[in-house]
Structure 1
């Protein structure tokens, strides 16, 4: 099975703002261009194949793009809460500069285990992504299935680390552009190979 994880198009939010689970729409200006670029990237990876299913985070910045892609390919769309971005709790929609410095330092000291007040940790996200991946493997009917996911940078990086057997936070510093994709091949025995990153 091939798993292609794509980061959503740019969201309608300032770059200095902490956002995660907040349901922000994709940036209207340039959305069609961003979506066309995503479709072209995916087409280069797929070649003659087509996705079995398009999966999506429920958040609009991912779901809008995933809906259009599913329509274009004529395949089902599956929206799953477990694909949402990390919940930053009380930090949501606050400027990074306005968040208490000691709290940010505590997060930096324990990126995997620290949860912002009212939010979740990277480990929490990795666990829900693992639960989603296990359910996907259980439902995949053929070894040549291609599952495409439109989601968020955090969950994509964390899923990649878990799939490759790396420490939870190993991929958090890896650059992943808006619209960029990660291509994983999952063998019948569950062994996973990274084919492309930020392609």
Structure 2
């Protein structure tokens, strides 16, 4: 099985805003960014396409895979930052932010979710994918979801996966040969 992880394009939001599950539109460069992504995808059809229901992902999925059935999948949403959604990072209580940053794996932001909870969502969805025996599947999603998948596939601690560069429009192809062996290739970082 091949899993193609595709990060959404640049969202329409001011720099410095916390926007995990905030449903943001795409910016004015959307068509150019989508075209650059499309040029990196294989010409063969995907068996299935899944997208986060957030519009910055679903719009990209529609643009890239307009000839295919696209399934919106709640488990592919970004980390829920709870009360911090839509706030400027520099306005969040510094002590609470540090407390969360020091233990984001287990501690959620107020009324949000921890990275471990997000990883549980990803593991649940991965089990579902494996049960389908797809040859090639595309997931249009967010950097947090991609990092959770890469934690599994690269066999690195979740704390280290944040060192990976996953810019807007990043593409990562994962070839799964068996439970023990996966091949990860960064197509577009």
TM-score norm. by structure 2 comes to: 0.94
The aligned residue for residue 19 of structure 1 is 19
Per-residue CA deviation, residues 112-169 of structure 1 (Å, 9 max, x unaligned), is 112000000111111101100110110124xxx1111110011101111123332223
Please list, as runs of the form range in 1=range in 2, the aligned pairs for 1:16-55 lying within 5 A after superposition. 16-27=16-27, 29-42=28-41, 46=42, 48-55=43-50
- Give 2:140's match in structure 1, choosing from 132, 150, 154: 150
* 1:179 is aligned to 2:169: yes
5+ long unaligned stretches in structure 1: none
Q: How well do the aligned residues superpose, as a CA RMSD in angstroms?
A: 1.4
- Give 2:56's match in structure 1, choosing from 57, 61, 65: 61
Deviates more, 1:166-175 or 1:33-42: 166-175
Matched residues, number: 189
SS in structure 2 of the partner of residue 169 of structure 1? coil
* 1:191 is aligned to 2:181: yes
Q: Relative to 1, partners in 2 of residues 1:136 and 1:68: Cα closer, same or farther, differing over 3 Å?
A: same
Runs of 4+ deviating beyond 3 Å: none
TM-score norm. by structure 1 comes to: 0.89
* 1:118 is aligned to 2:111: yes
5+ long unaligned stretches in structure 2: none
